[in-house]
Structure 1
Amino acid sequence: MLEKLPEVIGHALHGMRAGLDKIVFNALGMRQGMASIALTSVAFVDHAPLPSRYTADGEGLSPPLQWADLPTETTSLVLLVEDADSPTPNPLVHAIVVGLRPSEGKLDEAAIPSPGNGGAAGLHVGRNSGLQAAWLPPDPPPGHGAHRYAFQIFALGGAPLFSATPGRDEVFNALREHALASGLLIGTCERPDGSIKIKEAAPAGPLAAG
């Protein structure tokens, strides 16, 4: 979405970032007293680079995720992925999935639809910042520095009704009313020199980088 910006613009916008304080996990204003969900991935560790297979420079698939330590009263889960460092007033939304069943405990690789990939059947996928019900692969501007992609999961109580393709505002309002617990996992991505190469770290599990 931003990879085609000239490198000189990326450098010029280096100081312009939405900020971690604006991701839903922090903007909810409910962290104190909320339970904590353990959100992890076998493909990358917290605050480490995302393997290229999950970005716009690779296959552009959604990464695998696992969660644990849910409150016993959890009825459903919401996944929200935002770019905390996008040069925009608010973080760019890369994925929304609502209605995840607590018993599943995971989301497999490529489960969320993405370009050229139909995704898993039965997922209730919301709108990303490209106005598509899909995974928007990370593609930070060249020269803008490292971007932090916040994978956020929320446990909900009750049964909020979502529209066919809920957006960030709709999800935010539902979370304010129904959120019981939350979890956060951050993956990074960077194009420091204007090339399409992305720094990679070895995966934390059995999946190999693309």
Structure 2
Amino acid sequence: MRPVRSSAQRSRLAQIETPLGLVVTSPSFADGAPIPRRHAGRGVGDDVSPALAWTGLPDATSTVVLIIEDDDVPLPRPLWHTVAVLGGSVVHLDEGALGPDASDVVFLKTPLGRRYSGPRPIPGHGVHHYRFHVFGLSTPLRPDTTGRTELLRDLRATATACGTLTGTYRRP
């Protein structure tokens, strides 16, 4: 399975163009650097979401969407670990803010559930790249937005800004 991988180019999120770019940062890891074990998924680490911040949201942002995807899974497309929908004025998340008791976050269902799900690559599969995509939307998500297809539709139609922070994780 080592040579079998998706890629960033196969991500449907990479195809969404926006007029503005966001700068996404974390005090836990630099862009392109390893993600600390504390933020790794169940059975690997503590599964605590890292602190994140972003700048460059337009003033009229209605909704912020955070999508965490693994570009290196042995699947045709990257795997979405987490989809979190936030208010339009949110410009940062504290460490652990995407916990199970988060009241100001709406989680959309992913193959890994409705929650933060940290890095958990297959043992021995090499380095995986985890992209933390942040999108600013000009309108709220439609009421029927419950899955990937509907979310991609909404992102294509109303995203005005986006940015990405990439972290890596490797399991021996």
1:66 and 2:53 correspond: yes
Count of residues in correspondence between the two structures: 170
* TM-score, structure 1 normalization: 0.75
1:26 and 2:14 correspond: yes
Cα drift, residue 143 of structure 1? 1.7
Highest Rg: 1 or 2?
A: 1
1:155-198 CA-to-partner distances (Å, cap 9, x unmatched) read 1012332458x32222111101101010000010012x3xxxxx
Change (3 A) 1:48 1:119: farther
Structure with greater strand percent? 2
What are structure 2's unaligned runs of at least 5 residues?
A: none
User: Deviating runs (4+, > 3 A) in structure 1?
Assistant: none
Cα drift, residue 24 of structure 1? 3.7
What one-letter code is carried by the residue in structure 1 that aligns with 2:49? S
1:88 and 2:75 correspond: yes
1:102 paired residue number: 88
Q: 1:145 aligns with which of 113, 126, 150?
A: 126
Cα drift, residue 149 of structure 1? 0.3
CA contact (8 A) 1:25 1:182 kept: no
Q: How does 1:164-203 map to 2 (within 5 A)?
A: 166-191=146-171, 193=172
Cα drift, residue 154 of structure 1? 0.5
* TM-score, structure 2 normalization: 0.91
Within 2, Cα distance between the matches of 1:146 and 1:83? 10
1:203 paired residue number: none
Q: 2:38 aligns with which of 45, 50, 53?
A: 53
CA contact (8 A) 2:64 2:90 kept: no
Q: Does the residue aligned with 2:153 lie in a helix, a strand or coil?
A: helix
In percent, how many aligned pairs have the same letter?
34
1:87-117 CA-to-partner distances (Å, cap 9, x unmatched) read 111111110011x22323111211223xxxx
CA contact (8 A) 1:23 1:150 kept: no
1:129 and 2:116 correspond: no
1:17 and 2:5 correspond: yes
